[in-house]
């Protein structure tokens, strides 16, 4: 069975999101190709992870574009963003935890761009009076990634229904657990 390089990447992403220590052999099996062919596409494990990172960045830049973060209220934009992000939530979870390992290494420039876009969205929300100003932009950004990743894991483990993903992430992120009076 022959697969496009992108299809291989997506299969690898699906596997590695669940089992980040999976062997190259397991990745090849999961992609339905031979290990040799996998090595023909990606020089090694590092190259594979780097390619996954770039796939993720591509996907999320696309998702950010589709979410039209500048339109409507910041809250509406954030809702669209979570919705657009859902298909790649597992990949995000993988990349976020993977990035924890890179200590000294410089962070991929693409992440900086994405962080800046998220941060700008939260900033707009704060300036327009929709979001709290006592939570730092950096923390709101991290919390968004964290909640998406956490919920992706919870869905994988069956603790949260897949259909509830968007609702759970966005409602907790926006409204929190406290029951407010006007609700």
Is there a contact between 93 and 60 (Cβ–Cβ < 8 Å)?
no
7, 19, 20, 44: which one binds DNA (CB under 7 A): 44
**Nearest to DNA of 43, 133 (CB atom):** 43
Six-digit token pair at 146?
């964290």
Residue 91 DSSP label: H
DSSP run (H or E) holding 26 = helix 24-31
Alpha carbon distance 75, 23 (integer Å): 41
Shortest Cβ 90–DNA spacing (Å): 20
Which positions lie near its own copies, rule CB under 8 A? Answer: 18-21, 75, 78, 97, 100-101, 103, 122, 125, 129-136, 138-140, 142-143, 145-147, 149-151, 153-154, 159-160, 164, 167-168, 171-183
Q: For residues 126 and 137, give the distance between their C-alpha atoms in angstroms, rounded to a whole number.
A: 9
Shortest distance (Å) from residue 126 CB to DNA: 44
* 120 contact choice in its own copies, DNA, none (CB below 5 to 8 Å, kind-dependent): none
Q: How many CB atoms lie within 10 A of CB 12?
A: 27
Q: Pick one of DNA, its own copies, none as the site partner of residue 39 (Cβ within 5 to 8 A by kind).
A: DNA
Residue of the chain from 14, 18, 39, 172 that contacts DNA (CB under 7 A): 39
Nearer to its own copies, 116 or 138 (CB): 138
Closest CA to 165 of 99, 95, 97, 84: 84
Q: Does 32 bind DNA (CB under 7 A)?
A: yes
């Amino acid at each position: 069975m022959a697969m496009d390089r992108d299809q291989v990447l997506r299969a690898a992403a699906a596997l590695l999101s669940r089992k980040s220590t999976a062997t190259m052999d397991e990745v090849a099996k999961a992609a339905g190709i031979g290990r040799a062919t996998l090595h023909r596409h990606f020089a090694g494990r590092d190259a594979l992870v780097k390619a996954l990172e770039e796939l993720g960045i591509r996907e999320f830049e696309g998702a950010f574009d589709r979410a039209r973060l500048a339109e409507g209220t910041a809250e509406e934009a954030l809702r669209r963003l979570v919705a657009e992000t859902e298909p790649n939530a597992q990949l995000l979870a993988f990349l976020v935890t993977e990035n924890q390992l890179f200590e000294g290494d410089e962070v991929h420039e693409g992440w900086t761009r994405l962080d800046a876009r998220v941060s700008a969205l939260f900033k707009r929300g704060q300036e327009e009076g929709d979001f709290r100003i006592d939570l730092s932009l950096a923390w709101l950004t991290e919390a968004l990634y964290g909640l998406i990743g956490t919920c992706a894991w919870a869905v994988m483990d069956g603790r949260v229904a897949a259909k509830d993903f968007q609702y759970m992430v966005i409602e907790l992120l926006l409204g929190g657990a406290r029951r407010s009076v006007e609700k």
